[in-house]
Structure 1
Amino acid sequence: MKRVKLAEIAHARSGDKGDGSNVGLIAYSDRGFEILRDQVTIDRVKAHFAKICHGEVQRFEIPNLKALNFLLGDSLGGGGTESIKTDAQGKTHGMALLEMEVEVPLDFNR
């Protein structure tokens, strides 16, 4: 096994949902989706965003798109119209999640 950043096996999109961020993680392949489903857990995402996510993390699976969707509660400092955060709409949260590392087989090819 080897460790790689999620960016090697998936891409992401993110944005705001009120005071929470919505992060979609989409695998490039079926094999990549299996890795996402097994390793990108609520607990790992909560820990990854510990400094900005002060609420509940929810995870939804969308198998037909090879995707996971995460809602990061209380992560935007009040949301787009209230927050003084640089990224009040969570547009960078997808890119931040792609920095998380997962383990893949040595022969893994996205």
Structure 2
Amino acid sequence: MKLKEIAHSRTGDKGDISNISVIAYKAEDYPLLKEKVTCEKVKEYFGEICKGTVVRYDIDSLCAMNFVLDKTLGGGVTRSLALDKHGKALGMALMEMEI
């Protein structure tokens, strides 16, 4: 199944760091998300663009996780040649991941 079937996402960025939240639609799916959507899986999924670390922060009270991807935006808004310099599309891209 694709991640988007049980979760949605919000994104943010600062410089060369992308923030991607994964939020369960239903609380009963949150344990599965915690099991399947790991730092290692996210790093592998974005392997071509994520040149730094991936850290996950669990927000159990919201049934959500926040991933911080360092060195992912090609230097950031003012330095990258990427079409989506802000990384807003990365949340939607992550929702296509198979879990």
Alignment TM class, shorter chain as reference: over 0.9
SS of residue in 1 equivalent to 2:65: strand
Distance across 1 between alignment mates of 2:64 and 2:29 = 10
Task: Please provide the CA RMSD for this pair.
Answer: 0.8
Give unmatched runs, 5+ long, in structure 2.
none
Q: TM-score, normalised by structure 2?
A: 0.96
Richer in strand (by share): 1
The residue type equivalent to 1:67 in the other structure is: A
Are the equivalent residues in 2 in contact too, given 1:27–1:66 (CA < 8 A)? yes
Quick one: which of 72, 75, 86 aligns to 2:72?
A: 75
Distance across 1 between alignment mates of 2:14 and 2:53 = 13
User: Percent sequence identity over matched residues?
Assistant: 51
Aligned residues: 99
User: Which structure has the larger Rg?
Assistant: 1
Q: TM-score, normalised by structure 1?
A: 0.87
Per the TM alignment, residue 17 of structure 1 is displaced from its structure 2 partner at its CA by 2.0
Give unmatched runs, 5+ long, in structure 1.
103-110
